Structure 1
Amino acid sequence: MIYKVSILFLLFMIYSILGWLMEITYVSFCEKRFTYNRGVLIGPYCPIYGIGVITIILFLNKYYEDAFVLFIMATIVCSIIEYITSYLLEKVYNARWWDYSKKRYHINGRICLSNALAFGVASLVVMYVIHPFIINFLYTFNSNIIIIISSY
């Protein structure tokens, strides 16, 4: 049990860091200047990505054989997570971390179709390319090593 929780925690951290890297790359490109402080926390991670990927791994793995259904379900799940996160951040901090009001097909500026579709595509890349590599890499380590690493 501790081993499984340790693996999930490491996956959460890895995907939070990868999400942060993806976000700073995208935002830096769009703003034509380097931007590194993304998200609520200070550090090289965005927990919303870790939560999103862990949710997809745990609940959508049953759709692995059907990429189209996986895409649709991941798009919906990621949009729900993004909407709830936006709402909660606004209520807790009285600030908005993102606003899609200027994009077409948005809901209250919290989510928009273009980003939802991008998250759907990213979910496929994660499930079919990135996650198999990462999980196989983690499984090469002894369970005690995994538990120790996840403790830090």
Structure 2
Amino acid sequence: MELSKSIKKTYLYFMMYAIIGWCYEVFLEVVVYQWGFTNRGVLFGPYCPVYGFGALAFILCFGKIMKKKEPNWFVYVKPLIIFMGCAFVATGIELVASYMLEILTGSWPWQTYADYAINFQARIALSPSIRFGLGGLLFLYILQPIFEKVIYKLGDKKVSILFYAILFPFILDLFVKLFKMVS
């Protein structure tokens, strides 16, 4: 039973960050770059799964460090370690995702990195990596503790309802996208 609860909570975290990632991408596209609106996700819904995977990777890699009591001097070093670690992890995920999407779809959505001064094959670039590091700090220090409290306050029954209410449309979206790719 405990594993089931853990899976549901983990999936809800995944989706929260996938949706936040989509909002972030749309904000950049519409407000910052003024390109106009397009769906920034690889699926049809308002989510970018790569951000959900990135958030789960942050929890896996840095969750224990965040909760651990540290010596006084480490308080000043920890944010720098978290920043650099998140930038590295997220950039690695983005690089792997670009290769996977290219294999599956023939391209990847963020080919605009070719215009960045420091980039690798237009797949990853320094500027987004820095933003990912800053986003990781925001995520681990502010958002994740809030989400953990919200999920805890919802209780098991509401978490289950929310889990299934979000899971089924996501799976349907995934199957529709896969069907369109193969047909």
Q: TM-score range by the shorter chain?
A: over 0.9
Change (3 A) 1:63 1:72: farther
Partner of 2:79: 67
| Distance of 2:107 and 2:35 partners within structure 1 | 23
Q: CA deviation at 1:39?
A: 2.0
Deviations 1:61-106 (A, max 9, x none): 2332611111111110000000000111011111231121121111
In the alignment, is the contact (CA less than 8 A) between 1:20 and 1:45 conserved in 2?
yes
Partner of 1:121: 134
Partner of 2:157: 144
| Distance of 1:31 and 1:106 partners within structure 2 | 18
Change (3 A) 1:112 1:148: same
Matched, 1:11 2:13: yes
TM-score by length of 2: 0.79
Q: How many residues of Structure 1 are paired with residues of Structure 2 in the alignment?
A: 152
The structure that has the greater radius of gyration is 2
Q: What amino acid sits opposite 1:22 in the alignment?
A: Y
5+ residue gaps, structure 1, are none
Q: CA deviation at 1:108?
A: 1.1
Partner of 2:120: 107
In the alignment, is the contact (CA less than 8 A) between 1:2 and 1:147 conserved in 2?
no
In the alignment, is the contact (CA less than 8 A) between 1:7 and 1:146 conserved in 2?
yes
Q: CA RMSD in A?
A: 1.3
In the alignment, is the contact (CA less than 8 A) between 1:12 and 1:53 conserved in 2?
yes
Matched, 1:86 2:98: yes
| Distance of 1:116 and 1:32 partners within structure 2 | 21
5+ residue gaps, structure 2, are 67-74, 166-183
Q: CA deviation at 1:110?
A: 0.4
Higher helix share: 2
| Distance of 2:155 and 2:64 partners within structure 1 | 27
Q: Tell me which of 73, 95, 99 is aligned to 2:107.
A: 95
Aligned to 1:140, what secondary structure does the other structure show?
helix
* Stretch of structure 1 that moved more, 14-23 or 61-70: 61-70
Partner of 2:47: 45
* Stretch of structure 1 that moved more, 124-133 or 28-37: 28-37
Q: CA deviation at 1:36?
A: 4.0
Q: CA deviation at 1:18?
A: 0.8
Deviations 1:27-71 (A, max 9, x none): 101342541411210111110111101110122123326111111
Q: CA deviation at 1:130?
A: 1.1
| Distance of 1:31 and 1:141 partners within structure 2 | 38
